[in-house]
Homo-oligomer: A and B are copies of this chain.
């Protein structure tokens, strides 16, 4: 049994708390949060402390807090035993300033406390300072996910940028589509099957092959017509992305 302490109470911590509780090979012995925020969402059976000096002895300590706070927070961890990991996609392993061994356990998914996801499908990217820690972290990661990847800090940073495009920016494209629907009294629901299929399609076909639309066809008549109907901000984005698609395919 791998003994685990979880530090944090946000969306990532909530997902981890759920998956730790579910796993038979993990002993989720304690969680830490400095305040009572989100306490109602967490399992009451897991002992909780708000005192950083009262942490139980564990094999792995998982810090799931805001990127900016990782360094200063980890400085307060004076113990030397165990492996301390953060869960950030954009911070290097060196962001950890604790005395103990360091690692990263980055779950690549978008989390909300209100929306459940298929936990065991979530890719986990791991990194450690040495081979022995890697074995432990790999063992642990395999308990919570079917998709475990070894990714170092430099690659993880690139992966995080790719995730901004794949998740944040595509969601913003959905948002712009929603705006156009709202403005024209069209139910956004009409677009939902299309959006689902757009994501499903690239599970099997590469995005470069899945591309369709007026820009792919270099259909300037349709593009000009669309541009004439958009607001300034929409027009700027439509124009730039279309030009980029045209350059890619023609």
Contacts and interface: CB of A to CB of B under 8 A. Distances in A.
Given A174-B166, A198-B167, A208-B178, A193 B108 contact: yes
A229 interface: yes
Dominant SS among interface residues on chain A: helix
A149 interface: yes
A65 to B, nearest CB: 14
A19 interface: no
Chain copies in complex: 2
A226 interface: yes
Interface residues of A, number: 90
B230 A161 contact: yes
A201 B244 contact: no
Interface in A121-176: 121-123, 125, 147, 149, 151, 155, 157-159, 161-176
A64 B169 CA distance: 32
A141 to B, nearest CB: 13
A47 interface: no
A166 B172 contact: no
A71 B185 CA distance: 29
Given A147-B189, A155-B185, A169-B238, 5 more contacts: A110-B198, A123-B194, A165-B174, A167-B213, A178-B206
